[in-house]
Amino acid sequence: MSKKIGILYICTGNYVLFWKEFYESMERHFIADSEKHYFVFTDSPEVDYEHTNPRIHRIYQENLGWPDNTLMRFHMFLKAEQELSTMDYLFFFNANLLILEDIAAGDFLPNDTQKLVACLSPGFYNKMPEYVPYDRNPASTAYIPKGQGRYYFAGGLNGGIATDFIVAIKAMDQETQENRKNGIVALWHDESHWNHYVLNKSEIKVLPPSYLYPEGSSIPLAPIILIRDKFKFNNSTTRKTIIQKFFGHYALRGQKMQILKRLVFLSHRIPAALKRRIGTALYLYRSGKKIGTVSPSGNLLLISIAFNNIETIHLQYDYLKKNLTDNFSYVVADNSSDKKSAALIRSFCTEEKISYYKLPSNPLTGAHPSGSHGLALNWSFKHIVKKLSPKYFGFLDHDIFPLTQTAIIPHIRHSMFGLLQDRNDKWYLWPGFCFYEYQKVVMLPLNFMPATNLDTGGGNYEVLYKTIDKRLLDLPTHHYLNTETGEQTDIFKNADHTVERIGDWIHTMRLSNWHTSDKEQLLSLEMVLERCHTYLHDNS
Range of weakest confidence among 50-64, 167-181, 187-201, 516-530:
516-530
pLDDT band for 511, please (50, 70, 90 cuts). Answer: low
List, for residues 236-257, the tens digit of each pLDDT value: 344 444 444 444 554 555 555 5
Q: According to the model, what pLDDT value does residue 240 have?
A: 45
User: Over 60: is that where the pLDDT of 272 sits?
Assistant: no
List, for residues 319-362, the tens digit of each pLDDT value: 999 999 999 999 999 999 988 889 999 999 998 999 999 999 88
User: Over 80: is that where the pLDDT of 231 sits?
Assistant: no
Look at 495 and 352; give whichever has higher pLDDT. 352
User: Over 50: is that where the pLDDT of 194 sits?
Assistant: yes
Contact 254, 66 (CB under 8 A): yes
Residues 376-404: what's their mean pLDDT?
A: 93
Distance (Å, rounded) from C-alpha 459 to C-alpha 3? 56
SS3 category, 195:
helix
User: Over 80: is that where the pLDDT of 198 sits?
Assistant: yes
Contact 137, 62 (CB under 8 A): no
Closest residue by Cα to residue 213 from 316, 125, 108, 91: 125
Residues 393-397: what's their mean pLDDT?
A: 97
Q: According to the model, what pLDDT value does residue 243 have?
A: 45
pLDDT band for 364, please (50, 70, 90 cuts). Answer: confident
Active site residue 35: no
Q: Which residues contact 79 (CB under 8 A, 6 or more apart)?
A: 59, 61
- Angstrom distances, CA of residue 460 to CA of 133, 428, 436, 465, 475: 51, 7, 13, 7, 18
User: Over 50: is that where the pLDDT of 292 sits?
Assistant: yes
Looking at the chain, the whole-number percentage of residues with pLDDT higher than 70 is: 85
From-to residues of CATH 3.90.550.10 in the chain = 4-227, 289-476
List, for residues 124-169, the tens digit of each pLDDT value: 888 888 888 899 999 999 999 988 999 999 999 999 999 999 999 9
Question: Does the structural domain 289-476 have CATH classification 3.60.15.10?
Answer: no
Distance (Å, rounded) from C-alpha 122 to C-alpha 153? 9
SS3 category, 539:
coil
Q: According to the model, what pLDDT value does residue 273 have?
A: 53
- Angstrom distances, CA of residue 76 to CA of 50, 81, 134, 185, 540: 20, 9, 24, 17, 70
Look at 291 and 502; give whichever has higher pLDDT. 502
Q: According to the model, what pLDDT value does residue 207 have?
A: 96
Q: According to the model, what pLDDT value does residue 518 have?
A: 39
Q: According to the model, what pLDDT value does residue 380 have?
A: 94
Q: According to the model, what pLDDT value does residue 530 have?
A: 86
pTM: 0.53
Q: According to the model, what pLDDT value does residue 127 have?
A: 85
List, for residues 512-529, the tens digit of each pLDDT value: 654 433 344 345 778 888
Contact 278, 265 (CB under 8 A): no
* Candidates 3.90.550.10, 3.90.226.10, 3.20.20.70, 3.30.1330.80; CATH matching 4-227: 3.90.550.10
Distance (Å, rounded) from C-alpha 450 to C-alpha 442? 20
Residue 347's CB is within 10 A of a number of other CB atoms, namely 13
Range of weakest confidence among 29-33, 472-476, 536-540:
536-540
Q: According to the model, what pLDDT value does residue 367 have?
A: 74
Q: According to the model, what pLDDT value does residue 287 have?
A: 72
Contact 202, 88 (CB under 8 A): no
User: For 381, phi and psi rounded to 5 degrees?
Assistant: -65, -45
- Angstrom distances, CA of residue 234 to CA of 12, 100, 131, 373: 18, 19, 35, 32
User: Over 50: is that where the pLDDT of 305 sits?
Assistant: yes
CA 115 and chain centroid, separation: 42
pLDDT, mean over the chain: 86
| Secondary structure (DSSP) of 35-77 | EEEEEEEESSS--TTTTT-TTEEEEE-----TTHHHHTHHHHH
Closest residue by Cα to residue 122 from 153, 83, 144: 153
Q: According to the model, what pLDDT value does residue 296 have?
A: 55
pLDDT band for 13, please (50, 70, 90 cuts). Answer: confident
Contact 120, 209 (CB under 8 A): yes
Range of weakest confidence among 147-151, 238-242, 469-473, 504-508:
238-242
Residues 31-39: what's their mean pLDDT?
A: 95
H or E stretch at 247: helix 242-253
Angle at alpha carbon of residue 406, lines to 403 and 410, rounded to 5° = 150
Q: Which of 21, 175, 191, 311 is catalytic?
A: 191
User: Over 90: is that where the pLDDT of 108 sits?
Assistant: yes
Look at 494 and 242; give whichever has higher pLDDT. 494
pLDDT band for 78, please (50, 70, 90 cuts). Answer: very high
Residue 531's CB is within 10 A of a number of other CB atoms, namely 17
